[in-house]
Amino acid sequence: MANVPWVALGSFASALGSLYVLAQLRTHWEKPGAKWFVATIGTITVWSTGYGAALLVSEPSVRLALEALTWACLLWLGYVFVGFALGYTGRRGTLESPLFRGLAVVPGVLSVLALSNGRAGLLWTDTAVRTTWAGTVVGYTIQPLGYLAIFAAMLFVSFGTMLVFDTVLSYGPLYRREAIAVGLSPVPPGLAVLAWALGIGPAVNLTTLAFLPHLALDTYAFVRSDMFEFHPATRRAGERAAIDDIATPVAIVDVAGRIVNCNPAAEAMLGVEKRAVLTESLDDRIQGDRFRPGEDDDRFGVANGGRRREYKLGQTELTDGGGTRLGYTAVFQDITDEIRRERRLEVLNRFLRHNVRNESVVIQARAELLAETLDGETADHAETIERAVGRLVASGEKARTLSEAGTDEGGLEPVALRALVTDTVDSLSAAYDGTVTVEVPADLTVESQPALLGVVVENLVENALEHVSDARVTVRAAADGDDVALSVSDDGPGVPDHELDVLERGEETALSHGSGMGLWLVDWATTTLGTDLAFDTSDGTTVTVWLPVPDSTVPDASV
C-alpha cells in the first residue's frame, strides 16, 4: 500500500464514496430523476475506479485504453446529469422529448472517437505514456475537437446544475442550505477538469480527487435531507395542475393583455387552441364584453358559437421579486346558471307576492263573507276555507322572506334589543292565543342586522304560539361572556326530533320534512348573521341565539 500513489488512493476513495451514495439512494429508486442520478454517480464510480487503476498500470496499451475510458466517462457525465436535473425538477416532457434523446448522439459519437483515438487522433495527438510521482500518466496534445468535447461536457453539467439550483432555491428557506450545496458540488471537479485541459498545475488529472468534496456535498443535499422525498417535481406538477386541471377558465396575460398561457377550460370558453393564440390580445379573442388588463368585472359576457355565457372576472397582478408588474392572472367564474336561478326566483317571488297573494286574498275575503252569511255546517266549511287560505297567505309571505334572506348587503349595526323584541311580540299577541313575557334589559344593545334579527324573533315566538295551545312564551336576554344569549321558551311538548333532524341535515326529503318554514327561516337567518343556534327540548322548547355586542362591555342582565 505504501507504493500506491496518493492520487490513485484518492481515486479509489472517490469510487468508494460514490458506492456509499448509491447504497443510500436505493430507497429512492422510483422517485423522479433518481435513476438518472444513479447513472451520474455510477459514471463517477467507473471514472474513479478506472483512473485509479490506470495510474497503477505500466502496460502502454492497457493504460491508453483506460485513458480513453476516462474520456468516455467525462463525455457522458454531463448528459446523464442533465437527465437527472430534468427529471428531478419535474420536466419529464423535456426529458422524454426527441430533442433530449437526440442529444445523446453527442456523447455517443465523441465516446467512440475517444475509444478509437489511437487510429483516428481526432481528440488528441502526440500520445506519450510515462511514469511519474502520481503513477503512470499519459501526456498528449488535445486537439480542437477534444476541447470542444470537454466544453460540451462542461456545458451539460452547468445547465443541469442551474436547473437544480434554481428550482430547489425557489423552495425558499426550506432547502436553502441544500440548494447551496447542489450549486457548489460541481465546482471542484469542474475546476479540476479545466486545470487538466489547460495544462495548469501538475501533469496529472486530479478530477477524481475533486469528486470527494463533490460527493460530500451531494450526500448532504440528497441523502441527509429529504430532498428526494419532497422533490420539486411535485411542486411543478402541482403548479401545472393548478391551472390545467381545474374546470374554471384561467388565462395569463402580460401587461398589454396578450395571452401568455391559458388552460383547457379557457380554450373551450374562447373556442380556440392555446398554441394558435399565444402572444395575441385576449380582448381580440373575446366576443362580447371588452377585456381590460387588471380590471375586475362582476358581469362579463362571452359569446362563443352563438351562445353567450356570463362570468365573474377576477384578475390578480403578477410581479417579480422586485415588485415589477409582469402581467395578470385572469380567472373567469361561470355565473350563467346562478343568474338564471336568480331570474327564476325573481319570477317566482313576483308570482307569490302578486298572483298567489292577490288571489288568496280574494278567496279569503269571499270565504269570510260566506262564513258570516251562512249557518251551520256550511258556515264551518267557509271558516275552514278562510283559515286554510290564511295559512297559505302566511306561508307565501314566509317563502318571500326566505328567498330574500341574506340579500341585505348592509353591515352590522347596534340594535336596541328590547324595543325590537317588544315590537315583534305586540304584533303577534293579537293574532294568537297565549301569553308572551319579555325579560330583556331596557338598555341592552346587540350588534346585528335588524331585519334578520326580527325574522329570528318573530318566527320563534310565532312557532311557539301557533303550535302550543294557550302557550306561555318567555323571551329572555342575558349576558353570556362577550355575547348576549337571546332565548325563546315555551311550555309545549317540544319541537319534534324529525324537524330538528331536518335542520341539522340542511335539506328536506319526501319522507322527512318540516311542518312549516318558520324554523327554516330562523336557521337561515342565524347562519347569515354568523351566530350560533341551539335547541333544548328537555322541558318544553327553549331556542337560544348568541349575539355579539358593539363593545366588550355587556350590561347587567336586569329586567
pLDDT in tens, 129-166: 888 888 899 988 899 999 999 999 999 988 988 887 77
Residue where the block lists cell 433518481:
34
Spans of the chain, pLDDT less than 70: 1-3, 117-120, 167-176, 179, 223-242, 306, 320-322, 345, 347-355, 391, 394-411, 430, 496-517, 551-559
- Calculate what percentage of the chain has a pLDDT beyond 70: 81
Same domain, 219 and 71: yes
Q: Which domain holds residue 46?
A: 6-236
Q: Which three cell numbers stand for residue 272?
A: 380556440
CATH of residue 468's domain is 3.30.565.10
Same domain, 22 and 133: yes
Same domain, 343 and 425: no
**The pTM is what?**
0.52
Q: Which three cell numbers stand for residue 225?
A: 435531507
Same domain, 17 and 57: yes
Alpha-carbon Rg for the chain in angstroms:
41
Q: Give the pLDDT of residue 249.
A: 92
Q: Give the pLDDT of residue 454.
A: 84
Question: How many whole angstroms separate alpha carbon 461 and alpha carbon 490?
Answer: 9
Same domain, 366 and 326: no
Exposed/middle/buried for residue 7 (C-beta within 10 Å: 0-12, 13-18, 19+) = buried
Residue 288 β-bridge partners: 302
In a domain, 557, yes or no: no
Whether 517 contacts 399, CB under 8 Å: yes
Q: Give the pLDDT of residue 510.
A: 40
In a domain, 152, yes or no: yes
State which amino acid sits at residue 411.
Answer: G
Residues 6 or more apart from 243 whose CB is under 8 A from it?
A: 250, 252, 261, 263
Q: Give the pLDDT of residue 344.
A: 74
Q: Give the pLDDT of residue 213.
A: 93
Same domain, 90 and 211: yes
Same domain, 422 and 310: no
Same domain, 182 and 297: no
Residue where the block lists cell 448532504:
220
Same domain, 36 and 181: yes
Task: Dump pLDDT digits (tens) for 519-531.
Answer: 777 887 888 788 8
Phi, psi of 324 (to 5 degrees): -75, 130
Q: Which of 80, 27, 82 is CA-nearest to residue 228?
A: 27
Q: Which helix (H) or strand (E) holds 555?
A: none
